A and B are shown apart, each in its own frame.
Chain A
Amino acid sequence: MMFTTRLLEALGRVWIGLLLSFLYLPICIMALMSFNASPFYQLPFEWTTGWYADLSRNGRLLAATWNSLQIAVFTTAIATVLGTAASIALFRYEFRGKRLLQALLFPPIAIPWLITGTAMLIFFFGVGIGRGLHAILLGHVALALPYVIVVVSARLQTFAPELEEAARSLGASQWQVTTRVTLPWIMPGVIAGGLFAFAVSFDQFVVSYFLSTPGEATLPVEIYAAIRKGFTPEINAVSTIIIGISMGLMLVTARFFKFGGEK
């Protein structure tokens, strides 16, 4: 009996180990190959940082990286501010249609980006917004908003509404209540929401792809174009950098926000 339990638990750990290798092996290979001299990924392995050097001279990719960073930063700022405001309103007030407003956050998350992206392309083109970085920013903020609202609202669930009432009974205005009592409490949620927004924007490919123009594209869009032309170690190098950034970012986020819903 004891033996069977141990055996099954050991098998379970092996299973997890296999899953983790499945998840991380290709990424590690890619990272490794970005330091391999052979442009055709041939072994034996020969160390080089040449591809990164090439990357630093690739104007297109550098420009795209800069675009991606700018858009991610603006998306984070806008989505965090608007999303936090909306979360506070949804938390603080009871009104008819509140459930509908909450339900409206679901489609942007659940509808495949292919549909959202093509719909944005048609609409933005139709009303004269057109394509380009501004259109990409418009789209990214909309995609990031529901994430911010969900994360901040989760944090607000732990906030006692009496605290706002107590502050008001002491003479604080609505603005003072918000900045001095509510915001300090939900700040971890706001930061986590902001990091989510950054990740959503920085990693976004599909929507950016439909809204970009040849001159105004984000990094994933340029990478996609490069992949379709043919694989080069330069793409490995830039991919390794991106994946490093986003995983690092999510590790930081995890410190602010528990995903598991555990305790």
Chain B
Amino acid sequence: MATSIRGRGGIGPALPLLTPAYLWLVVAIFLPLSAMALFSFMTELPMSGRDWSLTLEHYAAFFSSGLYVTLLWASIRLGLEVTLWCAIIGFPAAYVLARVLKGRAREAIFLLVILPFWSNGLVRIFSWAMVLREGGLLDTTLNAILPFRIDIDLMYSYPAVIIGLVHSYVPYMVLTCYLTLQAIDNALIEAARSLGASRLQTLRRVVLPLAMPGLLAGSVLIFVPVVGSFMEPRILGGRTGTFYGTVIEDQFVAVFNWPLGAALSFILLAVVLVILSLSAPILRRVQ
């Protein structure tokens, strides 16, 4: 009752405080996204001075050439693989953080895990080059230990892209899983054990279902940006690193076919929005 009385109906008194922030978001986010949708249907950029007309040719190009569809699939596959690896690595770590470690150790390690996440992603990707290249750390170390000589040059390969992306995004998975795992009441686990469930059964039938929202939220938060990644494949993938994101980048910085780039971006946005809207109920539950 008390809260429903607070403030009365209209948005009026809130406007002076809200307008600057939302106006900024409209100008810098929402109008650009709308403009991109519009441009993707144009033959030429209106500001190029040349005549332009409305067309579906860029979308036709996407579906007919096969190349873009293949690349989008490759990006989606990349997204799925990275997400899977992040789950495999991140979930057990989140479990240990939430249910084994305690007190200051837990706080400190939790901070350490999510700290890299807030440092420059480009630089972190770059740091892998030093490890993965021929004559890099991995190569040198393994050859120093192993009695026989092998050449390890993961640089400019698909695995290198995967490693770099997993490194970039695994903190997300740890974070979301940790949040749901630490909310699980210990009594539930003890109850399962007291009913005769083994560790594995408890994990599978009690812990995993309860942690599922966190696992799914982490997956969405990882999958979406990975599908749109272009810098990581460029640096670590080299020639093998052509994905949907890199093709979009090319349209804007190399080929200068902006309308096609806009159409490709817009298709990606559609894919992303579908995923986000499907997962919105789950994401809300985690928050």
A contact set with B: CB distance below 8 Å: 4, 8-9, 12-13, 15-16, 19-20, 22-27, 29-30, 33, 40-43, 82-83, 85-86, 88-90, 92-97, 101, 104-108, 110-116, 118-126, 138-139, 141-142, 145-146, 149, 161, 199, 202-203, 205-206, 209-210, 220, 223-224, 227-228, 231, 235-236, 239, 242-243, 246-247, 249-251, 253-254, 259-262
CA distance A90 to B272 in the complex (A): 27
B123 located at the interface, meaning its Cβ lies under 8 Å from any Cβ of chain A in the complex: yes
B111–A16 CB distance below 8 A = no
Main secondary structure of the interface of A (DSSP, over half): helix
Nearest Cβ in chain B — how far from A6, in angstroms? 11
Nearest Cβ in chain A — how far from B216, in angstroms? 14
Pairs across A and B, CB under 8 Å, 23 listed = A23-B167, A41-B130, A43-B140, A86-B18, A90-B18, A92-B14, A97-B11, A111-B224, A112-B229, A114-B228, A115-B228, A122-B32, A123-B32, A142-B28, A145-B21, A223-B123, A224-B122, A239-B123, A253-B118, A259-B111, A260-B110, A260-B182, A261-B179
B28–A205 CB distance below 8 A = no
Which A residues are CB-close (under 8 A) to B93? Answer: 15-16, 19
Which A residues are CB-close (under 8 A) to B115? Answer: 247, 250-251
Pick the 9 closest A-B CB pairs, nearest first: A112-B228, A142-B28, A89-B17, A123-B32, A12-B96, A86-B21, A119-B32, A30-B127, A26-B127
Which A residues are CB-close (under 8 A) to B46? Answer: 126
CA distance A113 to B93 in the complex (A): 28
Which B residues are CB-close (under 8 A) to A89? Answer: 14-15, 17-18
Main secondary structure of the interface of B (DSSP, over half): helix
Residue B29 contacts which of A26, A107, A243 (CB distance < 8 angstroms)? A107
A141–B28 CB distance below 8 A = yes
B contact set with A: CB distance below 8 Å: 3-4, 6-11, 13-15, 17-18, 20-22, 24-25, 27-33, 35-36, 39, 45-47, 89-90, 92-93, 95-97, 100-101, 107, 109-116, 118-124, 126-131, 135-137, 140, 167, 170-171, 174-175, 178-179, 182, 199, 221, 224-225, 227-231, 234-235, 245, 248-249, 252-253, 258, 261-262, 265, 268-269, 272, 276
A41–B11 CB distance below 8 A = no
Which A residues are CB-close (under 8 A) to B107? Answer: 260, 262
A121–B252 CB distance below 8 A = yes
Nearest Cβ in chain A — how far from B185, in angstroms? 15
B36–A259 CB distance below 8 A = no
Which B residues are CB-close (under 8 A) to A111? Answer: 33, 224, 269, 272
A104–B120 CB distance below 8 A = no
CA distance A125 to B252 in the complex (A): 12
CA distance A43 to B124 in the complex (A): 22
Instruction: Please judge, given known A-B contacts A20-B109, A43-B140, A262-B182, whether A118 and B261 are in contact too, CB under 8 Å.
Output: yes
Residue B248 contacts which of A15, A114, A124, A203 (CB distance < 8 angstroms)? A114
Nearest Cβ in chain A — how far from B100, in angstroms? 5
A12–B252 CB distance below 8 A = no
Instruction: Please judge, given known A-B contacts A13-B100, A19-B170, A30-B127, whether A112 and B7 are in contact too, CB under 8 Å.
Output: no
A247–B265 CB distance below 8 A = no
Instruction: Please judge, given known A-B contacts A138-B28, A262-B182, whether A15 and B17 are in contact too, CB under 8 Å.
Output: no
Which B residues are CB-close (under 8 A) to A96? Answer: 9, 11
Which B residues are CB-close (under 8 A) to A261? Answer: 179
A223–B18 CB distance below 8 A = no
Which A residues are CB-close (under 8 A) to B95? Answer: 12
The chain A residue sitting closest to B20, CB to CB, is A82
A145–B24 CB distance below 8 A = yes
Which A residues are CB-close (under 8 A) to B171? Answer: 23
Which A residues are CB-close (under 8 A) to B130? Answer: 26, 29-30, 33, 41, 231, 236
A86–B22 CB distance below 8 A = yes
A243–B124 CB distance below 8 A = yes
The chain A residue sitting closest to B286, CB to CB, is A261
The chain B residue sitting closest to A150, CB to CB, is B287
Instruction: Please judge, given known A-B contacts A110-B276, A145-B25, whether A42 and B32 are in contact too, CB under 8 Å.
Output: no
CA distance A236 to B131 in the complex (A): 13
A115–B119 CB distance below 8 A = no
CA distance A26 to B234 in the complex (A): 18
Nearest Cβ in chain A — how far from B211, in angstroms? 15
Instruction: Please judge, given known A-B contacts A125-B47, A261-B179, whether A19 and B89 are in contact too, CB under 8 Å.
Output: yes
Nearest Cβ in chain A — how far from B230, in angstroms? 6
Nearest Cβ in chain B — how far from A222, in angstroms? 11
Which B residues are CB-close (under 8 A) to A138? Answer: 24, 27-28
Nearest Cβ in chain A — how far from B107, in angstroms? 8
The chain A residue sitting closest to B171, CB to CB, is A23
A235–B126 CB distance below 8 A = yes
A203–B121 CB distance below 8 A = yes
B14–A115 CB distance below 8 A = no
Instruction: Please judge, given known A-B contacts A22-B167, A104-B25, whether A123 and B120 are in contact too, CB under 8 Å.
Output: no
